[in-house]
Amino acid sequence: MSKTFLVTRPKHDRTTHYLFNWAKAIIELAKSKSIEVLDLQGSRANKKEFTGVVSKKQPLFIFFNGHGNKNLICGHDDEALVRADDNENLLKGKIVYALSCSAGMKLGPRSIKSGALSFVGYKEDFIFFYDDTKVNKPLSDNTARLFLYPSNYVAHSLIKGHTVGESCKRSREQFMKSIQKIATEESDSYLLPYLVWDMKHQVCLG
């Protein structure tokens, strides 16, 4: 893994609040490996700053957290950071993990075509649930953990030095652990199809 790692962490609604906080462990892991962390958090996760940091620092690995659709990945206040057929060339030579709805459907393949080394994301909506009583302490939310720990395991494994393919495999293994856990707990059985959905629609391109 390169000694420079870029993470985007907008924090303007409940979804991004959760992703913002759950990415902290990835940041700490990177720092423990003496990797320089470029943390575009809150309002800094905007197109101008993202473009400038990528162009100047050329991080090998970019971890996006935020909303999106098949064409784009968003930052603060849902401003598009990267858009298909616009500026996906910014991802040339990069390993990308997008924890963002549907970005693996169109933006992912276009990024690979423009020279991205790999693009891991989701070809449909990424869905997760959380406990309303834990919103102020998202890292103690065991419902959210079922989804966000496995999804973040892609980034975790990459930073630990595993290949992109191995990292996707390890992430899916963590999803299976969540699925197996829920399969034995009748009260949370409604979560099961959504965990299967996320695991099924994770894509590893490049």
Enter the DSSP assignment of 37. E
Confidence (pLDDT) at 3: 84
Confidence (pLDDT) at 141: 98
Task: Indicate if the alpha-carbon torsion angle 82, 84, 88, 92 is positive or negative.
Answer: positive
pLDDT tier at 140, thresholds 50, 70, 90: very high
Residue 30 has pLDDT above 90, yes or no: yes
Comparing CA positions, the residue from 88, 96, 95 lying closest to residue 114 is 88
Give the position of tokens 């950071």. 81
Confidence (pLDDT) at 2: 54
Residue 18 has pLDDT above 90, yes or no: yes
pTM as predicted: 0.96
